[in-house]
Amino acid sequence: MDIDGWELVTKNLVIFIAFALAACEPAGEVVTSEDTAAGNMAAPVVYTVNYPLAWMADRIAGEVVEVVLPVPPTEDPDQWQPLPQHVLAYQDADLVILNGAGYAKWTTLAFLSPAKLVDTTANATDWLVPAGDVRHRHGPKGEQNNTDTASHTWLSPDLAAEQARVIAEALMQLVPGSAKGMKERADTLVGELKKHARTLGEVFENLRDRQFIFSHPVYQYIDARYSLDGQTVVWEPHEEPNEDQWQAMADLVEPDRSPIMMWEALPLRSVSDRLREMGISVVVFETGANPHPRKGYDVILDDNLANVRALGSMAASPNSAKAVD
Amino acid sequence: MKSIIFLALRYLAYYRWKTGVLVAAISVILFLPLSLEYVLDHGTERLRARAQATPLVLGAPGSAIELMLSTLYFESGNLAPLKYALIDEIHETMLGQAIPLQVKYRVGDFPVVGTSPDYFDFRDLKITNGRRLALAGEAVLGALSAKELGISPGDSVITTPDTVFDVTGTYPLKLKVVGLLQPTGTQDDYAVFVDVKTSWIIGGTGHGHEDLARPEASGSVLKRNGKDLVANASVAAFREVTPDNMADFHFHGGVADFPLSAIIVVPRDVKAGVLLEGRYQNPNSSVRVVLPSVVIDNLLNTVLIVRQYVLAAITFVGVATLATVALVFSLSIQLRRSEITTMMRIGAAPMRIGVILGTEILLVLAASVFVAGIAMVVVNAWGDALFGWILMAGNL
């Protein structure tokens, strides 16, 4: 055997010994967030029931946790009826973050481990407001059904901040090794949401004398937090209201208060034109319950703020207000 | 020697009824204490194994044995209910995992066990056919309940109403069977597992019916006060949870107040177990904590005392039986006096005659040992099936 052959054999032997030693390395290493982040082991999986919760969990957890929202983009997460395979996926998650307040009613009939459920509004009962739905009881002494709570809690940024705190606590318990980083990110997020709440308050303060009409019963927390004293109708952005609805709107409107109609999405052009003719300003205030194809929830928050702020700048001449798009 | 055995066998064969009775009597006397020991040892082992695998159980104050029978063997009994709020309370302590159990209803002779997914992980129950539970109104059956009911995934079972004539009792709920469990050789094989929420629906705490706010439901509305409606008894509740009516199912009252028959607590570690035990051991507490292994040991100690009495009785009967057998043989020799005289006259030595009579006795004893041995082999081989039958008989 020549010299090169020996070198080759020696090199292979060294590589073999290195592999053998690596294989003999004792088990029981401390799992760190870096391991998880680097993909050295499967990251814990956290399932959520709407996009704002998923966004908050993702902001707080960073790369440490895989955050999943399995609701199809075309479905309203609140009304979604999951198939058994969806529920089984929730079952296998390490944590399931719920909105609480009666949101995503399917979770009350799903077979999920109570140890994995995190109700982000369970301790915020003082903040919750009634939805104004019809309630019933069976017989005069029967128990009331417990469905009359407004569920779009995150629309109040203060309440969203509380929900973020609860999410942060749950995630820190799930991955204690990454608690420090999560705490810092959670504090930043809570700070941003609180600041957003204050700014939104200032903007709504400028609209104090305006009449608010909500196109859907989802704005109860905005209404309550900023004392808008609004009225709610049920108009779909992609549908043309019938004449009864227009008549009801005409009866509802107080023209001297420069009414504002808040929509989850931009209504049909014909609808917004007719509303303008009635002296009603249209503002889009997205709930963000579904993931947006082009923007994150932080952008949705900013857009909502900008849309409401734009109304304030038009307050001087309400009749010239136009749909915000 | 061959001729001695031949003569003994011929005698025993000629008096076959007498021989049969003797063999049967001695076999029973041998078999009874051995089988009793086996059954008790095997049963004790099983009871201890299930109890030791269940660290802590919380229940309402009352009989600890009844609580154990409900938690480990799904006997419904008359346990006072616990509140579901206790599940969250235990999780908030972060000392362990709380698994709810609601054992109150039945499908035929089989208990309906309302629980959470954690129970399946805790008992290591695996699906052999179909899938896991996902939604309310679904059921997963233990191996033997499925076999007895002749059920496969996709079929349905109907819960048994409390009483036929009690209009205020529970109505039957049709459950969709979505999976079958692998056999475990435990009481889990005889259960019908459902979500604890399904058991609340069976009990009437949750239900589904037409939307009372719709005009077509006005006939069922007793009183209307703004957005509050009071319905009368004519509201027809859905008797099955389907994808179409699931959204109409709801609960009245707060989940925290909903009933559980027991909670299995799996402490995080030994220290957490002690802390949890101490937390609920206050005599004024509305919750009772028990260690199943201790309760079962106490129960088995009582059983062991009973076993001593039974064994003493069997020994007494055995001695009496053997004395009777000895009497039978001695009387038999008396009756065979002329036969023995004849044998001596034709040249048989007295020693040889004694050996023939002794061989007859030995052959009877050997046959008895053989029969008792066969019976023990059967008990040993079919022990699990036998215990299954005993558990089943206990359910019935």
Distance from the first to the final alpha carbon of chain A: 80
Whether A91 has its CB under 8 Å from any CB of chain B: the answer is yes
Average pLDDT over residues A53-78: 94
Return d(Cα B11, Cα B362) in angstroms, integer.
13
Question: Pseudo-torsion of CA A44, A45, A47, A51, nearest 10°?
Answer: 90
Quick one: pLDDT band at residue A216, thresholds 50, 70, 90? very high
Residue B58 contacts residue B263 (beta carbons within 8 Å): yes
B219 membership: H or E segment, kind and range = none
Q: Residue B35 CB: number of other CB atoms within 10 A?
A: 17
Three state DSSP letters for chain A: CCHHHHHHHHHHHHHHHHHHHHHCCCCCCCCCHHHHHCCCCCCCEEEECCHHHHHHHHHHHCCCCEEECCCCCCCCCCCCCCCHHHHHHHHHCCEEEECCCCCCHHHHHECCCHHHEEECCCCCHHHCCCCCCCEEEECCCCCCECCCCCCCHHHCHHHHHHHHHHHHHHHHHHCHHHHHHHHHHHHHHHHHHHHHHHHHHHHHHCCCCCCEEECCCCCHHHHHHCCCCCEECCCCCCCCCCHHHHHHHHHHCCHHHCCEEEECCCCCHHHHHHHHHCCCEEEECCCCCCCCCCCCHHHHHHHHHHHHHHHHHCCCCHHHCCCCC
Side-chain half-sphere of A146: how many Cα atoms within 13 Å?
17
pLDDT digits 0-9 by tens, A112-163: 999 999 999 999 988 898 886 555 566 656 665 656 789 999 999 999 999 9
Of A84, A136, A144, the CB nearest to B131: A84
Task: Kindly tell me if the per-residue pLDDT of A22 is higher than 50.
Answer: no
Query: pLDDT at position A143, please?
Result: 62
The alpha-carbon gap from B307 to the nearest alpha carbon of chain A, in Å, equals 43
- State how far the Cα of B346 lies from the Cα of A242, in Å rounded to an integer: 127
pLDDT above 90: percentage of residues in chain A? 72
Minimum mean pLDDT range among A53-62, A128-137, A249-258, B208-217: B208-217
Higher-pLDDT residue of A38 and B101 is B101
Question: Are the Cβ atoms of B197 and A112 closer than 8 angstroms?
Answer: no
Number of other CB atoms surrounding residue B325 within 10 Å: 19
Residue B165 has a pLDDT of 60
B240 secondary structure, DSSP code:
B
Q: Given CB atoms, is A74 within the 8 Å cutoff of chain B?
A: no
The closest CB to that of A134, out of B98, B229, B255, belongs to B229
**pLDDT surpasses 60 at A318:** no
CB–CB contact A146 B252 (8 Å):
yes
Encoding tokens for residue B238? 């859905």
Are A142 and B88 an interchain contact pair (Cβ–Cβ within 8 Å)?
no
Predicted pLDDT of residue B390? 63
Among all residues of chain A, which has the CA nearest to that of B200? A109
Confidence at residue B213, expressed as pLDDT on a 0 to 100 scale: 62
Q: How many CB atoms lie within 10 A of CB B63?
A: 15
| Residue B334: per-residue pLDDT | 86
B233/A contact by beta carbon, under 8 A: yes
- What is the pLDDT tens value at each position of chain B, 396 positions in all? 788 889 889 989 998 998 999 899 899 988 988 888 888 888 888 889 999 999 999 999 988 989 999 999 998 778 899 999 999 999 999 999 999 999 999 999 999 999 999 999 999 999 999 999 999 999 999 999 999 999 999 999 999 986 656 555 667 899 999 999 999 989 999 999 999 999 999 988 888 776 656 666 566 656 666 666 566 666 667 789 998 888 888 888 889 999 999 999 999 999 999 999 998 887 788 899 999 999 989 888 887 888 888 888 888 888 988 898 888 888 888 888 888 888 888 888 888 888 988 999 999 999 999 999 999 998 888 766 666 666 555 544
Give the nearest partner residue to A146 out of B133, B231, B251, using CB atoms.
Answer: B251
Phi-psi map region of B374: left, alpha, beta (phi>0 left; psi -120 to 50 alpha)? alpha
**pTM of this structure:** 0.80
Q: Which long-range contacts (CB under 8 A, 24 or more apart) does A73-79 make?
A: A73/A290, A73/A291, A73/A293, A75/A290, A76/A289, A76/A290, A77/A49, A77/A50, A77/A51, A77/A103, A77/A104, A77/A289, A77/A290, A78/A50, A78/A103, A78/A104, A78/A105, A78/A151, A78/A152, A78/A289
CB neighbours of residue B76 within 10 Å = 16
Handedness of CA B256, B214, A264, A89 (dihedral sign): positive
Q: Is the pLDDT of residue A261 over 80?
A: yes
How high is the pLDDT of residue B338?
87
The predicted-structure confidence for A267-299, as pLDDT tens digits, reads as follows: 999 999 999 999 999 999 999 999 888 888 999
Which residue in B has a C-alpha nearest to residue A147's C-alpha?
B250
CB atoms within 10 A of CB B129: 15
User: pLDDT value at position B330?
Assistant: 87
* Chain position carrying tokens 């995150």: A154
Under 8 Å between Cβ of B300 and B44:
yes
Q: What is the value of ipTM here, to two decimals?
A: 0.80
Report the C-alpha gap between B135 and B157 in whole angstroms: 16
CB B11 within 8 A of CB B360: yes
Could you tell me which of B8, B121, B6, B102 has the C-alpha nearest to residue B60?
Answer: B102
Of A167, A190, A70, give the one whose Cα is nearest residue A118.
A167
Q: A113, B98: Cβ pair inside 8 Å?
A: no
Can you give the pLDDT at residue A18?
Answer: 40
Please state, in angstroms and rounded to a whole number, the distance separating the CA atoms of residues B94 and B9.
75
Task: Give the number of other CB atoms < 10 A from CB of residue B206.
Answer: 24
Q: Residue B76 has what pLDDT?
A: 77
Residue B336 in tokens: 């065979």
- Kindly provide the b/e burial profile for residues A72-100, where b requires at least 16 CB atoms within 10 angstroms of the residue's own CB: eeeeebbebebebebbbbbbebbbbbbbb
Task: Please write the tens of the pLDDT for every residue from B266-295.
Answer: 999 999 999 999 988 877 888 999 999 999
Min Cα separation A139/chain B (Å): 6
Q: E strands within B108-258? A: 110-115, 127-130, 138-141, 156-158, 174-181, 192-195, 206-208, 221-225, 228-231, 249-251
Contact B252 A110 (CB under 8 A): no
Phi-psi region of A124 (alpha: psi -120 to 50; beta: other; left: phi over 0): alpha
List the domains of chain A with CATH numbers.
33-124+148-198 (3.40.50.1980), 206-320 (3.40.50.1980)
Tokens read off for A281: 């300003």
Give the other-Cβ count within 10 Å of A41's Cβ: 11
The band of A21, judged by pLDDT with boundaries at 50, 70 and 90, is very low
Closest of B384, B206, A156, B252 to residue A164, by C-alpha: A156
Most B CBs within 10 Å, among A83, A103, A113, A138, to test the B interface: A138
Segment A33-37 shows an average pLDDT of: 39
Q: Tell me how many degrees the CA angle B184-B190-B196 measures, rounded to the nearest 5.
A: 100
Q: What is the per-residue pLDDT for A136?
A: 54
Q: Indicate the pLDDT class of residue A1, thresholds 50, 70 and 90.
A: very low
**Alpha-carbon distance A276 to A296, whole Å?**
30
Residue A97 near residue A46 (C-beta atoms within 8 A): yes
pLDDT the model gives residue B42? 82
Q: Is B178 on the interface with A (CB under 8 A)?
A: yes
Measured between CA atoms, how close is A261 to chain B, in angstroms?
Answer: 25
Is it the case that residue A27 has pLDDT exceeding 80?
Answer: no
Computed over every residue of chain A, the mean pLDDT equals 84
**Residue B126 contacts A where some CB pair is shorter than 8 Å:** no
| Residue B245: Cβ-neighbour burial (10 angstroms; 0-12, 13-18, 19+) | middle
Q: Using one digit for the tens of pLDDT, what is the confidence trace for A79-90? A: 999 999 999 999
**Closest in A105, A115, A138 to B231, CB measured:** A138
Q: Residue A58 corresponds to which amino acid?
A: D
